[in-house]
Amino acid sequence: MKFNNAPTLLLFMVAGLSSASLYAKEPSRQELVDRIDLLESELKQLRQDVDNNASKESLQVISEKIDGIAVSSPSDTLIHMAGYADVGYIDQESSDGSFGVGSFSPIFHFQYRDLVMLESELEIEIDDAGETETNLEYLTIDWFINDYMALIAGKFLSPIGQFRQSLHPSWINKLPSAPPGFGHDGAAPVSEVGVQLRGAFSVANMRTNYALYVGNGPELLTAFEDGEYELDGVEAEGKGTDADGEKVMGGRFGVIPVAGLELGLSVATGKATVTAVEDGDSSLLSGEAARDYDVLGADLSWSIQAFNFRGEYVETKVGDDIGSGAAASEGATWTTWYAQSSWRPGQSSWELVARYTDFDSPHNSQDQQQWAVGLNYIVASNFIAKIAYEFNDGESGSDAELDRLLLQLAYGF
Amino acid sequence: MINTFRKMAAEISIITVVSILMLGSPSLLAKGLSDGVDAARGGALWSENCARCHNMRSPSDLNSEQWITSVYHMRVKAGLTGQETRDILAFLQNATKTATQAAVKTESQPSPISVRSAKDIYTASCSACHGDKGQGNLPGVPDLTSTKGRLMKPDNVLLANIVSGMQTPGNVMAMPPKGGNADLTDKELGAVITYLRSLTGVTPDE
């Protein structure tokens, strides 16, 4: 018998009992009416109680609803915060060790359905003098056009290679420092202002991904050194204006032939102009014409069991001056590459890392060859304690030559 | 001359891009987050892709709403198609369900047991983490083939832990209740335990 029938049963019983007493005492008409009223109200109460007492089925419905709410988004707009921070200690050969704050990099996300997402990362740092610096690391509006394509517009991390766009956050980088040439002012471009198309598709069961961009491109620096003007650096850090009106185009194409292995090829080409002269006559700038600017990159990542291997090569080439500026008539080439391997046995919280980098710039004083070895304790997947030692080799007497001991705590949130 | 040519090339490419966008077939636009998703496929994609750049993040690291944004963020970073994104999201959201949420479903709709073999269930809901041989695919996932390992525990203990999920303090990965598949009944999971024992050859000594 179902629980719902209980009131009817009860009614019969009550009716039975009351009719029994009816014969015994023969109550008056009024008494009967009163009793019926009482019964009616009791019945009503009972019905209500039964209704309130949720049945198993209605519980089911409610739980499923709760379940649904927890799983689907409560609204079309989502606001989300992520990011990372690191703190550490650096002891460089021939100077005293010091504590430092690497950076605090909050990331803000605003997402409207699966249509558009705003991504923004700030980079907040304390410099040597104790001043706080804030930079907009990236700010893009990502429009998910279809399943194979998203349009990314704004300031974005350079899609050339892997290190800048995917590996530099401190909780991801397996060593406390960036490989020489992959930091700021090196061989690898850092960021870009423009538009980018990114996406993925499969060809013959092989997964591939792509990024294509058009942007303002970098600016060049020259310096007066040893009695002549030389190209001193490429500022590829997302310039908000395009000094020469010439855009740079490029991208990366990656293939994943088998799970765990990814190969990528990157190129960029365009024009760049000298916009600053250090220790020299800046009137020379007026004669400068846009120079050729070409970047080439290749990267590899391979995970097998407890091992992970990575390697990356980037070359930035700036052409000769073709105008009359002659602030630095010769072109220049920056190249760098690294190979890194790490080992973390499955059940272990410990990870061993070794990396070799060879950075070659037009200035001997900046060239560096580096062996870095490190030991990491993975407290949680996003919280890592690192200790590492860099064996640096460079021009004697230059900073590039000094070995360093680094300690770091990195937390991604 | 060359300069004007380069400039024109850049402008033409921007225009091309914009027109491709305009052509973007509207049927592909704004697909619901749950249309035609396959959480089992998502689990496999998750284990193959989500540790390519950084340590694998446990499904229990974020709640199901936070996963939406992070997985779309990763769609852009990791180069995933829209379908892959939705599948991975479904896997992660299922795996963040609490044991109570996972328990409710089974009572309502006893699933067609005969249709799913223990092996199929293992492949669809467990192998993304435990590997096709039970050896463990990811850091933090125990090696179930070890003769001194987890499968030395009696069936009822294993079943209770699979049903309610577990995370040993300090472990970087969590075992989601029912592996994230709320539809699985205790009876089916019992069969999966038997299957795991035959796969690994590990049974507690009597």
Distance CA A251, CA A265 (A): 8
Bridge partners of A333, per DSSP, are A317
User: Across residues A30-41, what is the average pLDDT?
Assistant: 85
Chain A residues close to B69, C-beta within 8 Å: 78, 80, 109, 111, 117
B99-200 maps to which CATH number?
A: 1.10.760.10
Q: What is the CATH number of the domain that holds A231?
A: 2.40.160.10
Cα–Cα distance for residue pair A410/A387, rounded to 1 Å: 11
Between chains, do B54 and A378 touch, taking CB under 8 Å as contact?
no
Residue A23 has pLDDT above 50, yes or no: no
Out of A124-128, A235-239, B17-21, the most confident range is A124-128
**Taking all residues of chain A, what is their mean pLDDT, rounded to a whole number?**
86
Q: Of A343, A375, A342, nearest to A356 (Cα)?
A: A342
A139 contacts A119 by C-beta, under 8 angstroms? yes
User: Average of pLDDT values for B4-26?
Assistant: 61
**Which of B29, B64, B138 faces A71 most closely, judged by CB atoms?**
B64
Residue-wise pLDDT tens digits, A364-385: 888 999 999 999 999 999 999 9
Residue A109 lies in a domain: no
- Supply the ipTM of this predicted assembly: 0.82
Average pLDDT, integer, range A184-212: 92
Token digits of residue A130: 């104790």
Do residues B48 and B129 lie in contact, with contact meaning Cβ atoms separated by under 8 Å? no
The Cα angle at residue A156 between residues A153 and A160, in degrees rounded to 5: 115
Task: Check A145 against B21: CB less than 8 A apart.
Answer: yes
| A346 → closest Cβ in B72, B77, B136 | B136
**B200: which 2 tokens?**
């690994």
Residues 6+ apart with CB under 8 A from A374: A174, A175, A176, A352, A353, A354, A386, A387, A388, A389
* CB atoms A67 and B21 under 8 Å: no
In this prediction, residues B107-128 reach a mean pLDDT of 76
pLDDT score, position A163: 96
pLDDT band at B4; cut points 50, 70, 90: low
pLDDT at site A38: 86
Q: What is the pLDDT of residue B33?
A: 54
Q: Please give the angle made by the CA atoms of A156, A161 and A167, to the nearest 5 degrees.
A: 75
From CA A212, how far away is CA A249, in angstroms rounded?
Answer: 8
pLDDT band at A7 (very low <50, low <70, confident <90, very high): low
**Chain B residue with Cα closest to A113:** B30
Amino acid symbol at A34: D
Which pLDDT does position B105 carry in this prediction? Answer: 53
d(CA A87, CA A406): 11
Contact A285, A270 (CB under 8 A): no
How far off is chain A from B188, nearest CA to CA, in Å? 21
Residue A344 in contact with partner chain B when CB distance is under 8 A: yes
- In chain B, which residue's Cα lies nearest the Cα of A70? B64
On chain B, the residues whose CB falls within 8 A of the CB of A119 are 73, 76
Q: What are the φ and ψ backbone dihedral angles of A250, each rounded to 5 degrees?
A: 180, -165
Task: With a cut of 50, say whether residue A80 has pLDDT above it.
Answer: yes
Q: What is the pLDDT of residue A159?
A: 97
Q: Considering CB atoms only, which of A70, A209, A290 is closest to B79?
A: A209
Residue B16 at interface with chain A, using a CB cutoff of 8 Å: no
Q: Does B84 touch chain A (CB under 8 A)?
A: yes
Q: Which residues pair with A248 in a beta bridge?
A: A215
In chain B, domain spans: 38-96, 99-200
pTM: predicted TM-score of the whole model, two decimal places: 0.84
Average pLDDT (A287-314) is 93
Q: Mind giving me the DSSP string for B124-184?
A: IIIHHHH-TTSS-SSTT---TT-TTSGGGS-HHHHHHHHHH-B--TT-SS-B-GGGG-TT-
Q: Best interface-test mutation with B: which of A114, A263, A342 has the largest number of B CBs within 10 A?
A: A114
Q: How far apart are CA B3 and CA A146, in angstroms?
A: 34
Residue B186 burial (C-beta neighbours within 10 Å; 0-12, 13-18, 19+): middle
**pLDDT computed for residue A305 by the predictor:** 85
pLDDT bucket at A308, cuts 50 / 70 / 90: very high
Give how far A279 is from chain B: nearest CA, Å: 30
CATH number, domain B38-96: 1.10.760
Q: Reply yes or no on whether the pLDDT at A67 is more than 70.
A: no
**A10 against A93, higher pLDDT:** A93
Instruction: Say how many domains are in chain A.
Output: 1
Q: How far apart are CA A342 and CA A310, in angstroms?
A: 9
Residues in a beta bridge with A235: A219
Structural domain contains residue A294: yes
Q: Would you state the pLDDT for residue A130?
A: 85
Task: Provide the pLDDT confidence category of residue B35 given band limits of 50, 70 and 90.
Answer: low
Asked, for residue A253, whether it belongs to a domain, the answer is yes
Decide if A378 and B29 are in contact by the 8 Å CB cutoff.
Answer: no
* pLDDT at res. A366: 87
Structure tokens at A143: 């429009």
Q: Burial of A12 by CB count in 10 Å (0-12 exposed, 13-18 middle, 19+ buried)?
A: exposed
B101 neighbourhood in chain A, CB within 8 Å: 63, 66-67, 70
Q: For residue A261, what pLDDT band results from cuts at 50, 70 and 90?
A: very high
More confident residue, A348 or A350: A350
Q: Give backbone dihedrals phi and psi of A83, rounded to 5 degrees, phi first.
A: 140, -165
How high is the pLDDT of residue B78?
95
- Out of A68-77, B23-32, B100-109, B181-190, pick the least confident: B23-32
Q: Do B79 and A303 make contact, defined as CB atoms within 8 angstroms?
A: no
- In one letter, which amino acid is A9? L
Give me the pLDDT at residue A399, please.
Answer: 85
| DSSP annotation of B202 | -
Domain range for residue A214? 84-102+161-412
Q: pLDDT band for position A409 (50/70/90)?
A: very high
Interface subset of B 19-78, CB within 8 angstroms of A: 20-21, 24-25, 28-31, 33-34, 48-49, 51-58, 61, 64-66, 68-70, 72-73, 75-78
pLDDT, position A18? 45
Mean pLDDT of all residues in chain B? Answer: 84
Lowest average pLDDT, out of A97-106, A204-213, A309-318, goes to A97-106
| DSSP-derived secondary structure for A134-197 | EEEEEEEEEEEEETTEEEEEEEEE--SSSIIIII-STTTSSSSSPPTTSSTTSSS--EEEEEEE
- A76 vs B contacts (CB less than 8 Å): none
The pLDDT value recorded for residue A51 is 66
Q: Is the pLDDT of residue A262 over 80?
A: yes
Beta-strand pair A228-235/A219-225: antiparallel
* Long-range contacts of residues A321-324, Cβ cutoff 8 Å, at least 24 apart: A321/A274, A321/A288, A321/A289, A321/A291, A322/A289, A322/A291, A323/A287, A323/A288, A323/A289, A324/A287, A324/A289
Residue among A63, A72, A113 whose CB faces B30 most closely: A113
CB contact under 8 A, A198 and B53: no
Asked if B6 has any chain A CB less than 8 Å from its own CB, the reply is yes
| Best-predicted range by mean pLDDT (A90-94, A247-251, B27-31) | A247-251
Cβ contact, residue pair A63, B104, below 8 Å:
yes
CB nearest A146 (choices: B29, B79, B140)? B29
The answer to whether position A175 is within a domain reads yes
- Domain membership flag for residue A347: yes
Q: Which residue in the set A74, A80, A199 is minimally distant from B66, CB to CB?
A: A80
Token duo for residue B131 = 């590997």
Compute the average pLDDT of residues A171-192: 91
In chain A, what residues touch B97 (CB-CB under 8 Å)? 67, 70-71
For residue range B76-117, list pLDDT tens digits in order: 999 999 999 999 999 999 999 877 777 665 444 555 545 689
Query: Do β-strands A219-225 and A149-157 pair in parallel, antiparallel, or remain unpaired?
Result: unpaired
pLDDT surpasses 80 at A162: yes
Chain A contact for B139 (CB, 8 A cutoff): yes
In which band, very low, low, confident or very high, does the pLDDT at A233 lie, cut at 50, 70 and 90? confident
Indicate the range of A1-10, A151-160, A206-215, B71-80 predicted with least confidence: A1-10
Cβ of A66 within 8 Å of Cβ of B136? The answer is no
| pLDDT score for A156 | 97
pLDDT at B64 over 50: yes
Could you tell me how many CB contacts below 8 A there are between chain A and chain B? 177
